[in-house]
Chain A
């Protein structure tokens, strides 16, 4: 079975980045969001990384200082979600001094964030709006992808396809993923354990000049009760109440506020990898009291379970972040880093926990999930086609959703050592049917017509040999299908390219 599965490796791994470092990196940038000159003069942080996300200060019309706090919180959560991923990073962007982002609307805010992301060489940007009513926050979050980068980074492609056959490449069409408005009590949003990363000074007030009330070393778990801008309001183990600044050196880590599990008879230990205190059923969601990485023993969580506290291996539990955008963003970053198993876990969790998200965002998550199954070391074609089909169901009028499934089916059809599983038997016909539907939905799609060109070549016994073998097993049937596709050509196709005199070169996709 393993040998058969290995034979299915027909998809090129997409842009796995081998970059220095063994864990995710975080840093901060201070900038105006509106002054182009300030953006030009801005130093790039984490310059050694190209796979990083910018978390921008949230627009906060109520001037509550929570726009900044939320950005720092999300930054911390994203870094936690990708903490074991090499070659990725997160940059938090805030206004200088005590400035607050209260008046950048009318559609310019997301453009300002995109410009800042470009200036920082990040390809993703997490941003949004916060409104606070009494003790409740209303948070609207978006993840933007810079279009110029998105276009250059395929989801998956048919391996070995060259020339026109290289058109058999699936790309993510969206450049923006909106997430549903989250209504959450402020206490629930912020309250959690935080863990010091290095020596930190706890101050009596949220000001740099406020007196230090306690000095703490590394690996001390504190209780965060609230945030004021970039300041964390914490209770120390000694019972003192004070403030920590979440500045550029990131003095604390923000573990997920809770983890979930559904396991019987789990060891609850006195220390990470230490003596077993008791065995207990771990069913439900549990507050995180501490989080520690121990070399040789991996990552551990200290949980409150049934009136007792103890350490549990992280592999036994699932992290729960407060905002859906965290899992989605972590999934995209891991996918781009070539960690398809990690990406799959994030998208799977996102889809399971947030089924009410918008259909375009859910569809994108399914496409990333399907692409992760295909790009994985041991691909799972059935799961991939299921996920890509779910995207088609969610966005049945999206030509790109059909095109992605067509590429997947063509890739599967071209597998040289095809085991007799139904999804592969049906793949050639499914690829042509999906391509037909994609063109029906968007006849102006140049890539789709180039894909048709390769099928034309296959039907004529030319072009890519694997594709020819895969889809042209029955040339007369393929020609029938192609005839139908060609009849879908619109009366006017925009020129493929502009000739030397500015004249369009091609106006019709004929054979």
Chain B
């Protein structure tokens, strides 16, 4: 009995060696024309691994990224896999694939629409009136494009309840950022508001237009999503794709558009079921949007305390995540480095400072 486990491993080794490594495949297309885009850089981060240039799309816009797992076939151990997609002239796109549920979301080909970097957008009179009415003068508002969920789930999903749950989920995270308690001047950010963009028609994949709307609204972010009911081995499940369009940006760090693909077992009955899975990520992007805006202001005004506050926010946000959240941690670290660099520029280190 003592030797049963090693023996079992030895028996399984040849089988494991034959299994193909999990691979993510997909296509990049122009969001407006639908045409394939070649030469797009694909970076990948997962389970502590990072490959900034893991693949490049071919002439058909196709790409393929082989993932390294501890055991071949153990895709469910990967958790989330993040793809960072960059192409000249197009807005940056991040794809977050949930591979926790038998690797199903990982296994499906990903179609990534890329939008041109937002230029001057035009709005007709009706749209302009709506946008003026919804304008955020304080710049502390998130705008929700109502989720387009499957008909079977539709009647149960109450977008108002969904919005409530998200607002509470985001604002409680902001209020609970683990900021140094005995450092005066660093307070948690005040709450943000949520408004629905129900009366504006916009294609969710048209990131260029969504970004233009967000800028016109002085938004922190525009968020929306859609879902589809499918089945896996006879068991119903719902695939939900959420899109986060973070509006503020700064040189050296941008979030751009983030697509998150989640799999919910069964058909979600309550808006809270969907909101729970999303609110941590919403809180992250809300904090990033707030921090980018404050970073731009503080850098322009030479406000050292404002920059230190941004650094504290980002570090406190980082404290909420686990070691498996590789891409989130790296993203936060990149921004922290940028802020700290600016702090060093404005306030060089003092001489000395260590015991001899």
Contact = CB atoms under 8 A, between A and B. Distances in A.
Interface string B118-156: 000000000000000000000000000000000000001
Contacts of B163: 105-106
Given A107-B170, A491-B340, A140 B276 contact: yes
Contacts of A99: none
B176 A176 contact: yes
A444 B308 contact: yes
A65 interface: no
Given A107-B168, A444-B312, A486 B276 contact: no
Given A110-B175, A129-B165, A491-B340, A398 B322 contact: no
Contacts of A359: 320, 322
B14 interface: no
A175 B173 CA distance: 10
Interface string A189-200: 000000000000
B10 interface: no
A107 B178 contact: no
A290 to B, nearest CB: 34
Nearest to A395: B319
A140 B272 contact: yes
A136 interface: yes
B168 A400 contact: no
Contacts of A151: 181
Given A106-B193, A129-B165, A395-B319, A494 B184 contact: yes
Nearest to B305: A494
A394 interface: yes
A416 interface: no
A131 B161 contact: yes
Interface string A140-151: 101000010001
A109 interface: yes
Nearest to B195: A106
A109 B166 CA distance: 12
User: Which interface class (under 10, 10 to 19, 20 to 34, 35 or more) fits A?
Assistant: 35 or more
A106 B304 CA distance: 32
Given A110-B168, A129-B164, A486-B355, A173 B181 contact: yes
Nearest to A114: B175
Given A129-B165, A400-B319, A491-B344, A511 B181 contact: no
A494 B186 CA distance: 9
A445 B346 CA distance: 21
A396 B322 contact: yes
A452 to B, nearest CB: 10
13 contacts: A59-B164, A129-B165, A131-B161, A133-B269, A138-B269, A178-B169, A399-B319, A446-B180, A489-B349, A490-B311, A491-B340, A495-B184, A508-B353
Interface string B13-34: 0000000000000000000000
Contacts of B352: 510
A250 interface: no
Contacts of B194: 106
Contact of B180 (A138, A142, A444): A444
Contact of B175 (A176, A445, A447): A176
B180 A511 contact: no
A50 B305 CA distance: 37
Contacts of B191: 106-108, 111
A407 to B, nearest CB: 15
A20 to B, nearest CB: 32
A393 to B, nearest CB: 8
Nearest to B350: A508
A117 interface: no
Contact of A445 (B183, B185, B347): B183
B58 interface: no
Contacts of B349: 489, 491
Q: Point out which of A173, A483, A511 has the most chain B C-beta atoms below 10 A from its C-beta.
A: A173
Interface string A487-502: 1011110110110000
Contact of B178 (A62, A140, A400, A479): A400
A174 B348 contact: no
B245 interface: no
A442 interface: yes
Interface in B158-204: 158, 160-161, 163-165, 167-172, 175-176, 178, 180-186, 191-194
A106 B346 CA distance: 37
A100 to B, nearest CB: 14
B81 interface: no
B270 A106 contact: no
Given A442-B312, A489-B353, 14 more contacts: A138-B272, A142-B172, A175-B176, A395-B320, A398-B319, A400-B178, A441-B315, A441-B319, A444-B180, A444-B308, A445-B180, A447-B181, A491-B348, A498-B184
A492 B319 contact: no
Contact of A396 (B160, B176, B180, B323): B323
Interface in A240-296: none
B182 A138 contact: no
Contacts of B172: 107, 110, 142, 176, 178
Nearest to A145: B176
Given A107-B171, A444-B180, A492-B343, A131 B270 contact: yes
B35 to A, nearest CB: 42
A108 B271 CA distance: 19
Given A483-B354, A507-B350, A397 B321 contact: yes
A444 B322 contact: no
A288 to B, nearest CB: 29
B261 interface: no
A213 to B, nearest CB: 36
B209 interface: no
A184 to B, nearest CB: 12
A181 interface: yes
